[in-house]
Amino acid sequence: MIALSYYSTLFLTLLLLVGLVFFVRGAVKDRPTYLEIGDPNLTPTIRDYLLGLGYRVKEVDPDRDSVTLEGKIKGSLGLAIFLTVLAAIGLLCLSLVLSFLLPEWGRAVYLLVGGAPLAGWFYWRGAQKIEEVKVSAQTDRLLVQGHRDTLTQLQAHLSGRK
C-alpha cells in the first residue's frame, strides 16, 4: 500500500504546476498602463523615440490632440528560456512523484519533462504581437497609454535625456 504522504505530495505538486501554468499564461498577458509626463512639449521626442523602435503612426486625431502609434513587439529570449527551465523543473518534480506512485511505469514517467519546451513556445508565440501606444496632449501634461514594458523603457529614455 502506498503511503498517504505520496498522495499529499502529488496533490501539492499538482497545485504548484497549476501555479506554473498561470505564471506562463501571465507572461503573455497584455498589461496596458498610463504614464503622465509633466512637459507637454515632449510629444515630438516621444514620437521620434517610438518611431526609432519601429513603430509607425496609425492615427492622428487633431480634435483630441492625440496620436496613436503601432508597432510589433518581440518576446524576450531570456524569459522564454527561463519559463522552459521552470516548466522542466516542475515536470521533473511531477515525474519523480509519479515514479513512486506508479512504479510499474518505470522510467517512462520522466518523459513528461520533454513537454517543458511547450512553455517557452507558448510564451514566444503569444509575445509576438502588435501593440498600440497613444499619446494625448493635455493643457499641462502628456498622457501616454500603452504596454507597461514599453512605457517603462520610454520613461527611462526620457529620464536619461535630462
- List pLDDT tens digits, range 6-56: 889 999 999 999 999 999 999 888 878 888 888 777 878 888 888 888 899
Residues 70 and 84 in one domain: no
Domain range for 153: 32-74+129-162
Non-local (6+) Cβ contacts of 121 within 8 A are: none
- Residue type for 155, please? Q
Residues 4 and 26 in one domain: yes
Residues 120 and 139 in one domain: no
pLDDT of residue 124: 93
Set of cell numbers at residue 31: 498589461
- List pLDDT tens digits, range 67-99: 899 998 888 899 999 999 999 999 999 999 999
> The CATH number of the domain where 149 resides is what?
3.30.310.80
- List pLDDT tens digits, range 104-161: 998 999 999 999 999 999 999 998 888 999 988 887 888 999 988 888 888 888 887 6
pLDDT of residue 15: 94
Residues 66 and 53 in one domain: yes
Residues 69 and 122 in one domain: no
Residues 41 and 26 in one domain: no
Q: How confident is the model at residue 4 (pLDDT cuts 50, 70, 90)?
A: confident
Number of domains in the chain: 2
pLDDT of residue 123: 94
Residues 68 and 89 in one domain: no
Measured between its terminal Cα atoms, the distance across the chain in Å is 70
Whether 39 and 144 have beta carbons less than 8 Å apart is answered as: no
